[in-house]
Structure 1
Amino acid sequence: MLGLTSVCVFLFSALALTISSGYSFGAVGLLLASIYLLWKRPRLDLQRRDYLLIATLLLYFSVYAANMLYHGDPMREFDMPVRALLAVPVLLLLLAYPPRAAAWWSGVAVGAIAGAALGLWQLLILHVDRPDGSASNAIHYGNVSILLGMLSLCGLAWARQQRHTLAWTMLLIAGGMAGVIGSIVSGSRGGWLVLPVCVCLFASQYIKGRRKHLLPAILAAFIAIAAVVAYALPESLVRERVEVAVDDVQKFNQTDNVTTSIGQRIEMWRTALILSREHIWIGLGRTGYLAGKKILADEGKMDRAILEHTNAHNDYFDALVKRGLTGLATLLAFFFLPLSLFARALRNSNSNSRPYALAGVVLYSCYPIFGLTTSSLTLNIGIIMLVFPMVILWPLLRQHERAA
């Protein structure tokens, strides 16, 4: 079982951006393997922290599914919350049979490198304006790319403890840089917001008067410098996207222009706030949200340019307008309760468990930022790349805590 869980964990990240729905191979493998628990019934020794994580996943599923059924939304909407439910047996499986650490760290690094290579090929050879790898769109490709890159850098402390330290270190550094490159070529500006946050996390974790931990801090500084250089270069994709963003904001401020990317986002956020006031506690559901938008458009209170969008392009506004304050509170718990558990583990961690606690903090710091400019949890790649890394990292963290 150890070999099977390790292979599935590696494939989950390694194929995430290079094959259509590549993350599903590892995820489905882990889910099918969890059936083994019904027959073997191993002793899990669950702690209060484990129950809290399971409760968070079940709460998100329950509130989302109940709201969907209450509002009579299409059954295909059930696809999203069920991913959180299916992550529960995978968490139990991995608590019983934790994968090899090398499978996780090599998977995220290979996934970031392969994803960046595909993005560069699409940009330089196919001349795609905004490469999207094998993801559904450039935004999610860029976000997952930078996430895999930042997760790779979390493993540098683990690499120093391995027999082939240099090889592992170079692989994880390559994964970190590739993740940033993939995000840059995608032109997904929202994902770039996580860079300063991750740099601060790495710096605060590694600069503590210990020379042996200077490498990740130096690398964090290098990423910050690389971001500045990427903006300053002639014909820079970064500068071009930033200038477009500034121009979009100016057009919206001066003429209420909603034909631009940012203009449409602002109009979607404004519309979601207007509609959410009518059913503040339980929201309108997807069906009611789309019907409400049509009424506003017919009354001339909303621009028709955003009529076909099925979400608010912001996780928080989308939860508010579709599921009300109840849904928004559930989303915040879904983000920040696991973050608090990983952060507490990071404060109390030993050298062996620290990389997994740090990776958990990075994961749950990135997603709330991604959700500011896109509805990251409305697509399979969005929610799967949140809940499955969590249910992989947590058992690895618990395993290394027990070993210490």
Structure 2
Amino acid sequence: MLGLTSVCVFLFSALALAVNSGYSLGALVLLLASSWLLWKRPRLDLQRRDYLLMGVMLTYFFIFTANMLYQGDPARELDMPLRVLLAVPVLLLLLAYPPRPSAWWSGVAIGAMMGAAMAFWQLIVLHLERPQAATSNAIHYGNVSMLMGMLALCGLDWAREQRHRMTWSILLLAGALAGVLGSVVSGSRGGWLVLPVCGCLFSYYYSKGRGARYLAAILGALLAACILAYILPNSRVPQRVAVAVNDIKQFQDSDNVTTSIGQRMEMWRTALTLSSNHIWIGMGRNGYLAAKQQLADAGKMNAVIKNHTNAHNDYLDALVKRGIVGVMALLALFLVPLSLFARALRHSAPGAQPYALAGVVLCTCYMIFGLTTSSLTLNIGIIMLVFPIVMLWAMLRQQERTA
């Protein structure tokens, strides 16, 4: 079973961006394998922290499901919270049979490189303006690519302790570079917002005990990399930044919602307007779409956004559809794992800290992604959050037990 969980964890990340719905393969096999616990009944030695992590996932599922049933939303809306529920038996399986660390770190690095390779092929050979690798959307590809690049950087301390530390370090650094480059060529600006935040996290973590000069060197390298990405010939970064600035100016001057950012702002403004009358439990998906249609018919909202099924912001989407209760459930899904990983980062054994750092980066990235898109309304968004959470938590707990 240890071999099976390791293979599944590797495939989960390695195929995430290079194969259509590739992230589902490893997750599905892990879910099916979790039924083994009913017969084998291994000793899990669960702690309060494990129950807390499972509890927040179950709470998220039940709150969203109850709200959907009350609002009369279509059954397909159950797909997303159901993914969170299904991560709970996978967590129990991985706590009983934790995967090999090499499976996780190699999967993340290889997955980022395979996704970037496909994106560059689409850019250079197919001449796609917005490469998306094997995903259905350039935004979500760019975000997940950036996420995998940041996760790869979390494993450098683990790589230094391995027998072939140089090989592992090069692999992880290559994965990190590929993840960032994949995000850059996708043109997904929302994913770029995580770079300064993660850069500060890495600077603090990797400079601990090494003095202020080491911290300054890391921050200087990060700043130099950002400047280089901006000034390189044919770089997409200045072009996309200039478009963003122009979109914002047009929206402010004339309420132009024909641009990408203009549409987002109109969706945010509409979601806030509609949520004010249904503040506690929201209005559901059907109520949200019906209300937008009414606003469009009355000329109070631009009709260009009436067919968008989400608010392009995780927090506003939860607010307008599920109310404050839904927003609290969403924040708990982000903040409870974040606090658990952050505490482990401060107090756990050195061997567990790379996984704690990766957990902090994962939750932080998703909180930032949610500001400019609805990450949790698609399979790739919800699965690439909850399943890495349980994988990292199981490996962290294993390192604590063996310390």
Q: Is the 8 A contact 1:202 1:217 kept in 2?
A: no
Residues 78-105 of structure 1 show CA distances to partners (whole Å, capped at 9, x for unaligned) of: 1100000000000000000000000000
Structure 1 position 208, deviation (Å): 2.2
Residues 217 and 199 of structure 1: is their aligned pair in 2 closer, same or farther, counting only changes over 3 Å?
farther
Paired residue for 1:75? 75
Amino acid at match of 1:161: E
Q: Secondary structure at the match of 1:311?
A: coil
User: C-alpha displacement at 1:181, in angstroms?
Assistant: 0.2
Equivalent residue, structure 1, for 2:17: 17
Residue equivalent to 2:250: 251
Report which stretch shifted further, 220-229 or 32-41. 220-229
- Pair 1:196-2:196 in alignment: yes
Judging changes above 3 Å, is the alpha-carbon distance between structure 1 residues 54 and 236 closer, same or farther for their aligned structure 2 residues?
same
Partner of 1:175: 175
Distance 1:218 1:94, change over 3 A: farther
1:343 corresponds in structure 2 to: 342
Matches within 5 A, 1:4-403: 4-210=4-210, 221-403=220-402
| Secondary structure of 1:238's aligned partner | helix
1:328-353 residue CA offsets vs partner (Å, 9 max, x unmatched): 11111111111011000001022101
Distance 2:85 2:171 in 1: 33
Q: Distance in 1 between matches of 2:149 and 2:217?
A: 16
Q: Provide the C-alpha distance between the structure 1 equivalents of 2:262 and 2:385, rounded to a whole number of angstroms.
A: 28
Show CA shifts across 1:136-173 (max 9, x none).
20000000001000000000000000000000000000
Distance in 2, matches of 1:356 and 1:235, equals 36
**Which moved further from structure 2: 87-96 or 235-244?**
235-244
- Post-superposition shift, 1:221? 4.7
8 Å contact kept, 2:123–2:130: yes
**How big is the alpha-carbon RMSD for the aligned residues of Structure 1 and Structure 2?**
1.4
Matched-pair contact (CA < 8 Å) for 1:199–1:220:
yes
CA distance in 2 between counterparts of 1:102 and 1:83 reads 26
User: Which letter maps to 2:381?
Assistant: G
Aligned-partner Cα distance in 2 for 1:178–1:236:
15
Q: Deviations over 1:300-352 (max 9, x none)?
A: 11000101100000000000000000001111111111101100000102210
Q: Which stretch of structure 1 is more off in the superposition, 364-373 or 274-283?
A: 274-283
Q: How many Å separate the matches in 2 of 1:235 and 1:268?
A: 32
Distance in 2 of aligned mates of 1:238 and 1:307: 30
**How far apart are 1:232 and its partner, in Å?**
1.4
| 1:376-401: CA deviation from partner (whole Å, max 9, x where unpaired) | 00000000000000000001001101
CA distance in 1, matches of 2:8, 2:230: 38
**Which string of whole-angstrom CA distances, capped at 9 and with x for unpartnered residues, describes residues 112-132 of structure 1?**
011111111100111000000
Cα distance in 1 for partners of 2:73, 2:397 equals 39
One-letter code aligned to 2:348: S
Deviations 1:267-308 (A, max 9, x none): 000000111011111101000000000011111110001011
- The offset of 1:210, in angstroms, is 3.0
Preserved contact between residue 289 and residue 321 of structure 1 (Cα < 8 Å):
yes
How big is the shift at 1:236? 1.8
Distance (Å, rounded) in 2 between the aligned partners of 1:155 and 1:326: 36
Counterpart Cα distance in 2 of 1:310 and 1:101: 39
The 3-state SS of whatever aligns with 1:227 is helix
Deviation at 1:229, TM superposition (A): 1.0
CA displacement at 1:224 relative to structure 2: 3.6
Q: How many angstroms apart in 1 are the aligned matches of 2:168 and 2:233?
A: 34
CA distance in 2, matches of 1:193, 1:51: 32
Identity of aligned residues (%): 69
- Further displaced range: 239-248 or 346-355: 346-355
Does structure 2 retain, via aligned residues, the 8 Å contact 1:195–1:224? no
The number of residues matched between the two structures is 402
Deviation of the 1:235 alpha carbon: 3.0
Whole-angstrom distance in 2 between the partners of 1:178 and 1:119? 10
Q: Distance in 1 between matches of 2:139 and 2:25?
A: 22
- Write the distance in 2 (CA, Å) between the matches of 1:236 and 1:163: 38
Partner SS for 1:386:
helix
**TM-score computed with the length of structure 1 as normaliser:** 0.98
Q: CA deviation at 1:220?
A: 6.5
Q: Are the equivalent residues in 2 in contact too, given 1:346–1:358 (CA < 8 A)?
A: yes
Aligned-pair CA distance for 1:222: 3.5
SS of the residue aligned with 1:129?
A: coil
Whichever residue aligns with residue 224 of structure 2, its letter is I
Q: 1:248 to 1:333 in 2, by over 3 A?
A: same
CA distance in structure 1 between the partners assigned to 2:14 and 2:190 by the alignment? 23
1:176 maps to amino acid: A
Cα distance, 1:219 vs structure 2: 6.3
Do the aligned residues in 2 keep the contact of 1:105 with 1:172 (CA within 8 Å)? yes
Q: Which amino acid aligns with 1:4?
A: L
Q: Conserved in 1, the CA contact under 8 Å of 2:203 and 2:218? A: no
Matched-pair contact (CA < 8 Å) for 1:199–1:224: no
Q: Shift of the alpha carbon at 1:225?
A: 1.9
Shift, 1:27, TM fit: 0.3
Letter of the 1:317 partner, please give it. L
Indicate conservation of the 8 Å contact 1:202/1:220, yes or no: no
